[in-house]
Amino acid sequence: MIKVRFAPSPTGIPHIGNTRTAFFNYLFAKANKGEFILRIEDTDQKRIVKGAEKAILEILEWLGIEHSGEILHQSERLEIYKKYSDELLSKNIAYEKDGAVFIKMPNDTTFEWNDLVGNKKIKFEGKDQEDFVILKTDGFPTYHLANVVDDHLMDITHVIRGEEWISSTPKHLYLYKSFSWDAPYFAHLPVILGPDKSKLSKRHGAQSILDYRDKGYLKEALLNYMAMLGWNPGADKRSDGARLLDKRGREKEIFSINELIELFSIKDVNTANPIFDVKKLEWLNGIWIRNIKDLDKRLLDFYKDDEEVLKLINSSKGKLFIEAASSRMRTLSDFKSLVSTQNSRAKTKEEKEIAEKLFQYLSKKLGNDWKDEELLLEIKNFSKENNVPFRIIFFLMTGKEHGIGILELNGIYGKDFFINNLKNE
């Protein structure tokens, strides 16, 4: 049975790259009816960041990346690593120096494996390998030891991790060999780069999934985007060998989590480093906002601490607001400004005169009942007769330069809203 793991170290809040690694492990497990476990690699006591583990769990939970079984902490398994370190010491594969345990790397061995990403052989010569520490003076193991021991003990079949681990894979291979254990399959995912082709970092704006969540991105969009960064469903998924197409006949790129699970294959992961493009993420988020069936619930959750917006959504007009706003949102945070009745700026003197004129005009033509069709017709007439561009009229009537349509606002607030704005200083 296939078993994979996500093994973050709590030394910081995971960014898009780390999270994608977790997601690919999850997709791989799900796609193969396997198991996905979570292991916290807290072996570097000095670098542990308070709250990091909590953030990791929060991210996974929010995205719906569920693990099975207990969450293991390497810091609670020190005796185990000590035991295996001793074993290598007794086998003369390891030696002690300055109170730490080192592995003596053999010069005459070639370390080679077939990497699942790109399906290629990667080879390192023993002579290029330096001895390395497996047990530190503080009694904690290094990643190399703990990782190999745990992966073996937990029957991990596939190690899917970031490409930054390629260089240390020979160390791991040697450890497996020294313990006479079978090594798992390895799949090294290319790291995601920032717009300037450097490693993704704070400089590239909000970096953790939590930040994106707080900015109003949907998990569906984030997951969809992360999956498409460096992966795409190969044509071989279809019996006729054709590409997956959408309704318009274009290559499909909007995928639900279930579709991703169904289509995911590690063979289809790209070998090149993709660059994170927030523009495409925004576009995807807009698509998902317009397609998600429970937008109202998402908004309620997103604005759970915002009384004002909450009241609006829960009001009898809530549905109309959401409907009117949905095509105009790229993130959930757009909702608030969209439904706000706050004037975007003051009217100029000239605009005030037009507003008054428009008010008189509409009152005269429409009387007491401002019906949609007539309202629209009269606005157009006024626009034409007085040579006032529609965008000015929109501003005068709604108080904003752009936003939800006049007819939609008429349905929500009725004529008083417009009159107020026209009369408003």
**Using CB under 7 A, which residues numbered 98 to 117 contact RNA?**
98-100
280 binds RNA (CB under 7 A): yes
73 binds RNA (CB under 7 A): no
The closest alpha carbon to 418, from 401, 408, 406, 403, belongs to: 406
Q: How many CA atoms lie within 13 A of 87 on its CB side?
A: 13
Which listed range, 209-217, 235-243, 314-322, 359-367, lies at the site for RNA (CB under 7 A)? 235-243
Residues 343-382 that bind RNA (CB under 7 A): 376, 379-380
Residue 166 or 320 having the CB closest to RNA: 166
Query: CA 405, CA 396: separation in Å to the nearest integer?
Result: 13
In the stretch 283-312, what mask flags binding to RNA with x, by CB under 7 A?
Answer: x--xx--x----------------------
Label residue 239 exposed, middle or buried (CB < 10 Å: 0-12, 13-18, 19+).
Answer: exposed
**Phi/psi at 69 (5° precision):** 75, -175
Task: Name the minimum Å distance from CB 333 to RNA.
Answer: 14
Residues 156-215 that bind RNA (CB under 7 A): 163-168, 190-191, 193, 197-199
Query: CA 145, CA 132: separation in Å to the nearest integer?
Result: 10
Coil, helix or strand at residue 374: helix
Residues 320-339 that bind RNA (CB under 7 A): 327-328
Binding RNA by CB under 7 A: which of 35, 41, 53, 151?
Answer: 41
Cβ contacts of 332-335, under 8 Å, gap ≥ 24: 332/216, 332/217, 332/218, 332/289, 332/298, 332/299, 332/302, 332/303, 333/215, 333/216, 333/302, 334/216, 335/216, 335/299, 335/302, 335/303, 335/309
265 binds RNA (CB under 7 A): no
Residue 36 or 418 having the CB closest to RNA: 418
122 binds RNA (CB under 7 A): yes
Query: CA 27, CA 36: separation in Å to the nearest integer?
Result: 9
Task: Name the minimum Å distance from CB 305 to RNA.
Answer: 26
Which listed range, 30-38, 134-142, 257-265, 341-349, lies at the site for RNA (CB under 7 A)? 134-142
402 binds RNA (CB under 7 A): yes
Which listed range, 86-94, 210-218, 223-231, 302-310, lies at the site for RNA (CB under 7 A)? 223-231
User: What strands lie across the sheet with 35-40, from one edge to the other?
Assistant: 3-6, 35-40, 72-73
Report the b/e string of 77-98 with b at 16+ CB within 10 A.
Answer: bbebbbebbeebbeeebbeeee
Q: Give the tokens for residue 269.
A: 């992961």
Binding RNA by CB under 7 A: which of 34, 106, 205, 405?
Answer: 405
124 binds RNA (CB under 7 A): yes
Binding RNA by CB under 7 A: which of 82, 104, 136, 152?
Answer: 136
Which listed range, 55-63, 231-239, 297-305, 414-422, lies at the site for RNA (CB under 7 A)? 231-239
Task: Name the minimum Å distance from CB 34 to RNA.
Answer: 22
Query: CA 266, CA 260: separation in Å to the nearest integer?
Result: 12
Binding RNA by CB under 7 A: which of 104, 152, 154, 253?
Answer: 253
Q: Is the CB of residue 85 less than 8 Å from the CB of residue 94?
A: yes
Which listed range, 27-35, 207-215, 279-287, 358-366, lies at the site for RNA (CB under 7 A)? 279-287
CA dihedral 349, 351, 353, 354 (to 10 degrees): 170
Q: Is the CB of residue 417 less than 8 Å from the CB of residue 409?
A: yes
Residue 35 or 42 having the CB closest to RNA: 42
Binding RNA by CB under 7 A: which of 21, 32, 43, 207?
Answer: 43
Query: CA 315, CA 275: separation in Å to the nearest integer?
Result: 43
Binding RNA by CB under 7 A: which of 27, 218, 228, 362?
Answer: 228
Query: CA 155, CA 4: separation in Å to the nearest integer?
Result: 9
CA angle, 137 as apex, 131 and 140 as ends, to 5°?
90
Binding RNA by CB under 7 A: which of 58, 268, 296, 323?
Answer: 268
Which listed range, 51-59, 60-68, 297-305, 404-412, lies at the site for RNA (CB under 7 A)? 404-412
17 binds RNA (CB under 7 A): no
44 binds RNA (CB under 7 A): yes
Residue 314 or 420 having the CB closest to RNA: 420
